Amino acid sequence: MMKLAIIGGTGLDKIQDLEITHREVCHTPFGEPSAAMTHGKIAGREVVFLPRHGASHMIPPHRVNYRANLWALQHLGIEAVLGVAAVGGITADMAPGRIVVPDQIIDYTFGRDHTIYETDLSQVTHIDFTYPYSEDLRRQLIDAGRISGVDPVGRGVYGATQGPRLETAAEIVRMERDGCDIVGMTGMPEAALAREFNLSYASCSVVSNWAAGKQGSPISMKEVEKNLIGGMERLKLLLIALLRFLG
Ligand code: HPA
C-alpha cells in the first residue's frame, strides 16, 4: 500500500491504536501545519497522523491551514491521504452513526486559502477535479468497511460549508435540492489541495447528527458527541482493516 497519512477531524484528535514512534514538527512556505506530525504504526503498517483541528482541538474549520498541512504531508513522502471528518446527514441513508465514503463534493466555503497556484506563476494551472476523490482509495475504504463489518455508505455528495456555525434549515433544504447527501465544514479546500499536491485523497465521513431541520428540533451537541463517539469507534475498526488487509 502507498504511504498513508490520516488527517483526523472532530472526535479523532488521537488514535489509541497508533503505536507512536516519533513526532515531527514541520515548517512550510504556507506557515505552520495544525500540529506536529505523529509517525507510528497501525496493525504493523507505517502511518502519519495529523489532527486537523490541532493537538488540543483549538483550530476552527475556517482557520485550518489546509495548505500547510498538505504541503507538509507531501514533503514527508506521503502518497495517500485519508481525511476523516464529522458530518451532518441530509438524505435518508445518512443516519447518525453511519460512516460514509463520499464520491462527490459541492463547495460552499469562501475566503479560505484554497490553492497553491497563486503567485510566482510561470503559467496558469487548472487541475482536473471532475472526480474529486481517489477511486482506488475509496474502493479500499469500502472493502475495508465490509471486511470489518462496518458497512459504510459507498457514495454520497459532500457539501462543504464555511462554519463554524451549523446551517439553517433553509440552507439544508437548498443543499438537498443541489444534490448534497452530507454536510461538513472541512472537506474543502482539503480535497482540492490534495489534488494540487498530487496526493491520492479520500474522505471517511462519520455522521454525527441529522442536518439542521431534518429532525424538527435544534441540533443537540450532546447528541452530536454521543453519535461521534460510537461512529469513531467503528471508524477505527475500518482503519485497522484497511491497514491490515489491503494493498
Ligand atoms: N453541519 C456541518 N458540519 C457538521 C455537521 C453539520 O450538521 N455535523 C458535523 N459537522
Domains observed in the chain: 4-113+130-246 (3.40.50.1580)
User: What pLDDT, on the 0 to 100 scale, is given for residue 10?
Assistant: 81
Query: By the 8 A CB rule, do 38 and 20 touch?
Result: yes
Q: What's the grid cell of residue 204?
A: 471517511
Q: How far is the CA of 159 from the centre of ligand 1 (A)?
A: 10
Q: What is the CA radius of gyration of the chain?
A: 17
**Atom 9 of ligand 1, residue of closest alpha carbon:** 87
Tell me the mean pLDDT in the region 183-190: 98
pTM of the shown model: 0.95
Verify whether ligand 1 is closer than 6 Å to residue 88 (CB atom): yes
pLDDT digits (tens, 9 = 90+) for 77-95: 999 999 999 999 999 999 9
The least confident of 161-165, 177-181, 223-227 is: 223-227
In ligand 1, which atom is closest to the CA atom of 85? 10
Query: By the 8 A CB rule, do 236 and 118 touch?
Result: no
pLDDT digits (tens, 9 = 90+) for 122-164: 777 889 999 999 999 999 999 999 999 999 999 999 999 999 9
Q: How far is the CA of 230 from the centre of ligand 1 (A)?
A: 16
